Structures are given as C-alpha cells and as structure tokens.
Structure 1
C-alpha cells in the first residue's frame, strides 16, 4: 500500500513509518520539524528513516512542510494517491497548552481540517488519527471505556483532540469517509520525546540531579510501550471502519456510529504507580534517584487506566510489553544515542 504518515519526525510517527517501510509499504512522510523540542532528535529520526528505506522494499519520500498550510496538504494529495492516511502530527504536551494554546489550534485543529478535507476529496479509503487518553479528563470511572462519555477535558490539548474526534464523525457521516480515532495512553520507549517523564528522569538521574515527582509519586498511568502502540495503529489502519447496524440515536454509543466511524483505546490495561515507574528507571540505570516530592500539577489527571477490550475484539491485538522491559529498552537506546554524540 501507499501510506501517508503525518508527523513522521515525531516519536510515534517515526516508529509507525519505520514499521510500514519494513513490511514493504510505500510511505510518504510529512513533518514541519518544529522546535517544540530538540530538532536534532527529529532530524536523527528522519536520518534513521532514510536508512530503513534503503534497506527495505518500501519506497519512501519525505515532505518538509506545515500541515496547517492548506497548499502543502493539497500538493501532497495531488502528487500521490494514498491507500491509507495515518495522521499522527499534532502539538502534544499537556502543560505547554497552558502557555501557548494558539499552537494547538493551528497544529491540532487547522491541520486536522486540512487533512480530513484532503481525504474527503481524494476519496481516501481510511483515515486513522491519533487522539489521547487525556480526553477522559474529569472522568473517574475506571477503567476508561470508549463507551463512556468524555466531555470534560482538563486541558486545552485534550479539548483539541476531542474536537478532532467530533470533526471526524461529521465527515464520516456527511461524506462516508471511514475514520478511526485512537486514544493513546502514556506512550514511552526508544526515540521518545524529551518533554516526557521517562526522558527527563533518565537525563536528570544520570546527571546526578533531583527529579520532580508530582503527586508524591502516587498517581497511576497506563504506560504503553511504543511498539505496542504502533502494532495497534497499523492493525486499525489496515482494517476499514464499518457501519454499526446496532447503533441507536436514542441511546448513542460514543465509540461508534451508523457512520463509518470508530474510537479505540490503545493502552496496556495495567496502570502503574509513578513511584514504581521510577523504580524501573533506577533499576535499569543502576542509580538511585534523588526525588523532589511535589503536589499534583494543574491539568494532570490523578489516574489513567485503559479498557482495551474493543481494540482486541476489532483487530485481535492487545498491548503486552511490561514497564520493566520497556523502560530497559529506552535506557539502552538513550545511552547508545547520547554517548555517541
């Protein structure tokens, strides 16, 4: 297949594009390589994709451009006929949305509109896009289920991703565009983002600096290893969203519709305390962390816990990598990557 992967210089987009190339698909990647975090890491991912493409049967083309610019998206769709579009580009980060909400409007709302409009006019067979567990916001019913409402986000970032889900449904309904939204739960692993806990903790522990432990380490996260995320993304993308004949407007299911629209959680289905996550990092590094215990940050949810039943029923896959193995893999990559630079 020929697949468009947006955000291919990003953490999950890079891994997704790499897996597609390794299995022999043709990939067009697009990314504006912005400076939200260290661009040298993004450029290194792009270089790695070039290497993967040279070693695989899949053909690869990279477009350096901003998806919020309609002409960039339109030109890409004019040049290629895509069998699948996997939209992973976004302005991520919970706390940054408190500082710069306009970047979220541009990257998460305007860019998404350009992508979904292009898919509409190109009659793209299936659009798969990234959402987030953060949409569950103020929900306290555990585990989080796609069948429950998610109408009280706690950060602007989550609000923009919830908007993406609603926008996708409108296009599925109006134009018959098959769409699948994937709610990611705390993704981690090699080539990860420097603004996330695992990266920051590893960096600080190695430097002998104290790490900030919010909520005194008592909150839980459904940490999900990046390879598990990518497997779920590819299986969901390969599968075409179907109409749900049992859907009722009198008692609507938020996760499906009588339009070709679906929402799935991708999580490990196994929440882990932050304190235990830190212990896994300490064990992999062989160094005890100095901890600065702090209260819960504004906008942070105390706990996340994914009900992954629906994804397994639909595509036959459930995340399986333990935190101990996933963290060890990250630490091994981190030491190799930064010691060689």
Structure 2
C-alpha cells in the first residue's frame, strides 16, 4: 500500500514509518520539520498540512492510506498555535482525504481525552465520553481533533476511518508527553494519591498503528499494551524521585526545583487514573504487545542514563 504519514519527523511517527517500510509499504511523509537521514523507501515533503503544497501531495501521489500524526501535546506551544495545528490541521487532512479518494484514514489520538475524574470508571471503553474539556481545558484542541476525525465515520462513507486513542508511549527515544513528565530528576505526586498510569513501549505503539492500517479497521479504538502501573512504581522503575506535595502547593512549584512544568489541568492526572479497555482493538486486529511494563520502563531508564552520561 501507499501510505502517507503526517507529522513524520516526530520520534514516534518515525517508528511507524520504519515499520511500514519493513513490511513492504511505500511511505510518503509530510512535516514542516526535516527528517535528517530518512531511510530509503520514505519520500519526504517538507510542508504544512494546512498549506496548498500538502494538498498537491495528495493530488499527485494519491495515497491509499493516511496516518495522521501531525498533532502536538506539549504545552510550551501557545493555545492558539495548538488549536491551529491540532484542529485546523486535522480538518485539512480529512478534507484532502475526502477530495482525493483516500481509502483508509487513521487518526492517532490520545487516551487522555477521557479526562481524569474521581467518579469515572477505572477502565474507559470507547463508549465513554471525552471529559477532558472540563477536567483538563488545555486539552480542548485535542478533544476537538479527535471528535472531528470521528465524524468521518458517518460523513465519509467511501473511506474507512479508524480513530486510535493510544496510551502513553515510552521508550528509548525519550520523546512524548510522559517522557517529558519524567525528564527531570523529580516527579510531583499529589499527597495521598498514587494514580495508575497506562504506558506502552513506543515500538509497540508503532506496531499497533501499523496493525490498524493492515487490518483496515474502522471505528474508535482504545490502544494499550501491558497493565497500568502506579505512578510511584513508574518513578522508581525509571530512576526518578517522587516528591509528595499537597494539592494546593502543586501549582506554585511546578516548573521549579527540578519538577516538570505542567498546566493546571494536569494536576487531576496526579490524583485520578486514566486507564483504557482495549478489548475492541485486540478483537479487530489480533494485536499483542511485545514489551511488558517492566521492560518498557527499563528501556526508557537505560536510554535516559546514557543521554545523561553524555551530557545530552
């Protein structure tokens, strides 16, 4: 198949592209950033998915499948820029898919859109509404992008659409939302809470995304790997020092004293778990993870130690 990956220069998207090439697919990539050393088998187009040159890539090359990964989760970006990239970018990609006859579209989203709340069920199924708009307002643009992608399930009958809500990806690259949270020497914990974190190895995440493509699934699917682990165990296994603080103190110290910088809405994730039920995805694809929780955390820790030793 001819597969177009948006946001291909991102660390996790590169894993997806490499796996696609290994499995014999032709890969096209769109990103505003270059991918230095992109392997043979990947054809790069350095442009913004919202711009005319991106539409030309769709028009000229006619991909069979599009994997949309050109979204941002880091909060150093302004809210306006996140909105333009996450929602407007997603709208543009799906317009191109409809206009130029893409057969399958895969939107790679996040499980955090379900929101962290005290009264939520432990394991979220795909029927659960995305509550992050109220519990974590800073994620509103990602929730909107997820819901916009989901509308293609009924608005574009000629295209099969899969919306994947993936748990945190963690691994040697040291990239991603959870890796940024664990990047410093200390990790904040809300006093009296030890929430479960749902984590999978970044190589397994890539394998799951490729499985969604090759099985041509349609629908909304939670994607997970091994069982979730408590935040205290995550800190211990990755060599980080947990710092237990009263909830009222957290907003004043985040971003200081070796603690990660987090938006106010993220504090809920230090209290309540966001854990998903992935039975539907397994039934649709037969996916099985290769890295258990211990191997995943150890892979991140080993790579982090190596980077720290090299002063990177």
TM-score range, shorter chain: 0.7 to 0.9
Q: 1:129 to 1:157 in 2, by over 3 A?
A: farther
Q: 2:66 aligns with which of 85, 109, 125?
A: 85
Q: Counterpart of 1:274?
A: 231
How far apart are 1:292 and its partner, in Å? 3.3
In 1: Cα distance, 2:276 partner to 2:17 partner: 25
Q: Deviations over 1:241-289 (max 9, x none)?
A: 4xxxxxxxxxxxxxxxxxxx5111112351211110111112xxxxxx5
Confirm whether residue 219 of structure 1 aligns to residue 200 of structure 2.
no
Confirm whether residue 63 of structure 1 aligns to residue 45 of structure 2.
yes
Q: 1:128 aligns with which of 102, 106, 113?
A: 106
Q: Counterpart of 1:10?
A: 10
Q: Counterpart of 1:75?
A: 56
Contact 2:29 2:42 in 1 (8 A): yes
Q: Counterpart of 1:30?
A: 30
Q: Counterpart of 1:116?
A: 94
Secondary structure of the residue aligned to 2:30 is strand
The number of residues matched between the two structures is 287
Range moving further from structure 2, 230-239 or 213-222: 213-222
> TM-score, structure 1 length as denominator?
0.76
Contact 1:219 1:303 in 2 (8 A): yes
How far apart are 1:200 and its partner, in Å? 5.7
In 2: Cα distance, 1:290 partner to 1:141 partner: 29
Q: Counterpart of 1:39?
A: none
Contact 1:185 1:266 in 2 (8 A): yes
Q: Counterpart of 1:47?
A: 36
In 2: Cα distance, 1:212 partner to 1:281 partner: 11
Secondary structure of the residue aligned to 2:163 is strand
Q: Counterpart of 1:253?
A: none
In 2: Cα distance, 1:328 partner to 1:221 partner: 15
In 1: Cα distance, 2:95 partner to 2:147 partner: 14
Confirm whether residue 324 of structure 1 aligns to residue 302 of structure 2.
no
Q: Counterpart of 2:155?
A: 174
In 1: Cα distance, 2:305 partner to 2:187 partner: 21
In 1: Cα distance, 2:17 partner to 2:138 partner: 24
Contiguous gaps of at least 5 residues in structure 2 = 252-263
Contiguous gaps of at least 5 residues in structure 1 = 34-42, 206-210, 242-260, 283-288
Confirm whether residue 144 of structure 1 aligns to residue 144 of structure 2.
no
> TM-score, structure 2 length as denominator?
0.82
In the TM superposition, 1:190-209 aligns within 5 A as 190-193=172-175, 196-198=177-179, 201=182, 204-205=184-185
Q: 1:31 to 1:157 in 2, by over 3 A?
A: farther
Q: Deviations over 1:84-104 (max 9, x none)?
A: 1100110213x55xx721112
Contact 1:132 1:158 in 2 (8 A): no
In 2: Cα distance, 1:2 partner to 1:335 partner: 38
In the TM superposition, 1:213-252 aligns within 5 A as 213-216=188-191, 218-241=194-217
Q: 1:113 to 1:204 in 2, by over 3 A?
A: closer
Q: 1:319 to 1:31 in 2, by over 3 A?
A: same
C-alpha RMSD of the superposition:
2.5
Q: Counterpart of 1:305?
A: 275
Q: 1:315 aligns with which of 276, 279, 285?
A: 285
Secondary structure of the residue aligned to 1:179 is strand
In 2: Cα distance, 1:335 partner to 1:62 partner: 32
Secondary structure of the residue aligned to 1:299 is helix
In 1: Cα distance, 2:210 partner to 2:232 partner: 32
